Copies of this chain bind each other. A is one copy, B any other.
Amino acid sequence: MSEVYAARRERLRERCAGSGSAAAVVSRPANVRYLAGAAPSGAVLLLGRTEDVLVCGRPPGEEPGAERPDAGLRTHVLESRGGDPVVAAAGQAAAQGAETLAVEEHHLTVARHHALTSVAPALRLADLACGVEQLRLVKDEEEISCLRIAAEIADQALGELLESILVGRTERHLALELERRLVDHGADGPAFPTSVATGPNSGRGGHRPTDRRVEEGDFLSVCLGSCYRGYRSEIGRTFVIGTSPADWQIELYDLVFAAQRAGREALVPGAAYRDVDRAARHVLDAAGHADGLPPRTGHGVGLEIDEDPQLAPAAMGKLDACVPVTVEPGVHLPGRGGVRIDDTLVVRCEADGGPELLTITTKELLAL
Residues of chain A having any CB pair with chain B under 8 Å: 62-66, 81-82, 103, 105-111, 113-114, 127, 172-173, 176, 179-180, 183, 201, 204, 206-208, 210-212, 295, 314
- The binding surface of chain A is classed by DSSP as loop
Q: Output the least CB separation between A275 and chain B (Å).
A: 19
B residues less than 8 Å from A127 (CB atoms): 110-111
Additional A-B contacts beyond A63-B206, A105-B111, A105-B114 (5; CB < 8 A): A62-B204, A63-B201, A109-B109, A176-B183, A180-B180
Contacts A82-B295, A109-B106, A109-B107: A64 and B212 contacting too (C-beta < 8 A)? yes
Q: Which residues of B contact A173 (CB under 8 A)?
A: 180, 183
Interface CB pairs A-B, < 8 A, 8: A63-B206, A64-B210, A105-B111, A106-B109, A111-B127, A173-B180, A173-B183, A176-B183
Q: Which residue of B lies closest to A188 (CB)?
A: B208
Within the complex, which residue of B64, B179, B210 is in contact with A201, where a contact is CB–CB below 8 Å? B64
| A66 CB, nearest partner CB in chain B, Å | 7
Chain B proximity of A358: nearest CB distance (Å): 24
Given contacts A176-B179, A180-B176, A183-B172, contact A208 B66 (CB under 8 A): yes
Whether B114 and A109, one on each chain, are in contact in the complex, defined by CB atoms closer than 8 angstroms, is: no
- In the complex, A211 Cα to B64 Cα: how many Å? 10
A204 to B208, CA, bound (A): 33
Q: Kindly name the residue among A82, A109, A127 whose own CB sees the greatest number of chain B CB atoms within 10 A.
A: A109
Question: Once the chains are docked, how many angstroms separate the CA of A113 from the CA of B111?
Answer: 11
Q: Give the shortest distance, in Å, between A144 (CB) and chain B (any CB).
A: 26
The residues of B that contact A314 with a CB separation of less than 8 Å are 82
Q: Which 4 A-B residue pairings sit nearest by Cβ, starting from the closest?
A: A105-B110, A81-B295, A106-B111, A105-B111
Point out the residues of chain B lying under 8 angstroms from A201, CB to CB.
Answer: 63-64
- Cα–Cα, bound, A64→B113 (Å): 40
Give Cα A212–Cα B64 distance, bound, in whole angstroms: 10
Q: How far does the alpha carbon of A111 sit from the alpha carbon of B179 in the complex, in Å? A: 35
Neighbour of A110 across the interface among B110, B208, B210, CB < 8 A: B110
Q: In the complex, how many angstroms separate the beta carbon of A90 from the nearest chain B beta carbon?
A: 14
Note all chain B residues with C-beta closer than 8 A to A207.
63
B295 touches A65 (CB 8 A): no
Minimum CB distance partner of A181 in chain B:
B176
Task: Give bound CA distance, A207 to B110, whole Å.
Answer: 32
Question: Nearest B residue to A197 by beta-carbon distance?
Answer: B63
- Give Cα A64–Cα B334 distance, bound, in whole angstroms: 12
Q: What are the residues of chain B within 8 A of A110 when measuring CB–CB? A: 103, 105-106, 108-110, 113, 127
Report A164 CB to chain B, min CB distance, Å.
15
- Roughly how many angstroms separate A106 CA and B113 CA in the complex, as a whole number? 10
